């Protein structure tokens, strides 16, 4: 039987969003993110970050800076190995090579191939309508983390999400009830 995993958006889901963040010293976890990730890892879920990082395609930050931010975030989440793998789309919106950019399910599908996942048993956690849509298009359940949802996207994201979590604790509780590894 193929296994389940949890796909995680990065900015305004795991860490505070600073546009085009390239400085690891500015990484700040959102409340409850570390504890929730540790609970999910202890339950046996691979944690796969799927993140649009258009600052690279726009020439504002480098891939090395994205990796440095990811490394700092992972340390704050509990140390090396907390995140199983990172999938990024570096293209700017409208770039002819942006087929991986959420709401495309491409990064989730790549993760499924890499880890032998059953996407119907997986969950995506994000704060944007494009996150929720990527999860749906991949065949996953989608949790809207209602901490920093852009106001213009909120009604659509709430309507389309499998579950709306008021915080990381309720998101992890729902995932652990719904999905068994």
Catalytic hit among 11, 12, 70, 131: 11
**Per-residue pLDDT at 55:** 96
**Per-residue pLDDT at 1:** 60
The values of phi and psi at residue 15, to 5°, are -125, 160
Mean residue pLDDT of the chain comes to 95
Structural domain contains residue 1 = no
Query: What's the structural domain count of the chain?
Result: 1
Please confirm, yes or no, whether 9 is among the known catalytic residues.
Answer: yes
Residue % of the chain over a pLDDT of 90:
91
**Is the pTM here over 0.75, yes or no?**
yes
The values of phi and psi at residue 103, to 5°, are -90, 10
126-160 pLDDT per residue, tens: 999 999 999 999 999 999 999 999 999 999 999 99
Q: Which residues of 61-85 are buried (b: 16+ CB within 10 A; e: fewer)?
A: beeebbebbbebbbebbeeeebbbe
Structural domain contains residue 41 = yes
Structural domain contains residue 101 = yes
**Per-residue pLDDT at 26:** 98
Task: Kindly report the CATH number assigned to the domain that includes residue 43.
Answer: 3.40.50.1000
Domain residues for the domain of 124 are 6-178
First to last CA, the chain: 10
**Per-residue pLDDT at 97:** 74
- Please identify which residue in the block is written with the tokens 């340390």: 75
Structural domain contains residue 60 = yes
Catalytic hit among 9, 12, 70, 131: 9
Please confirm, yes or no, whether 64 is among the known catalytic residues.
Answer: no
């Amino acid at each position: 039987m193929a296994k389940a995993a949890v796909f995680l958006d990065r900015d305004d889901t795991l860490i505070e969003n600073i546009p085009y963040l390239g400085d690891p010293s500015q990484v700040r976890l959102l409340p409850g993110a570390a504890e929730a990730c540790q609970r999910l890892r202890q339950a046996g879920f691979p944690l796969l970050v799927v993140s649009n990082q258009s600052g690279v395609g726009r020439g504002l930050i480098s891939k090395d800076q994205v990796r440095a931010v990811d490394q700092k975030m992972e340390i704050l989440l509990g140390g090396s190995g907390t995140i199983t793998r990172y999938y990024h789309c570096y293209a700017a919106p409208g770039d002819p090579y942006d087929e991986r950019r959420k709401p495309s399910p491409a990064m989730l599908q790549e993760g499924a191939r890499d880890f032998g996942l059953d996407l119907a048993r997986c969950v995506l956690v994000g704060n944007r309508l494009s996150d929720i849509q990527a999860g749906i298009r991949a065949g996953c359940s989608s949790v809207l983390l209602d901490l920093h949802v852009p106001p213009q996207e909120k009604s659509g994201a709430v309507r389309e999400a499998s579950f709306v979590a008021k915080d990381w604790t309720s998101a992890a509780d729902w995932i652990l009830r719904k999905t068994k590894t």
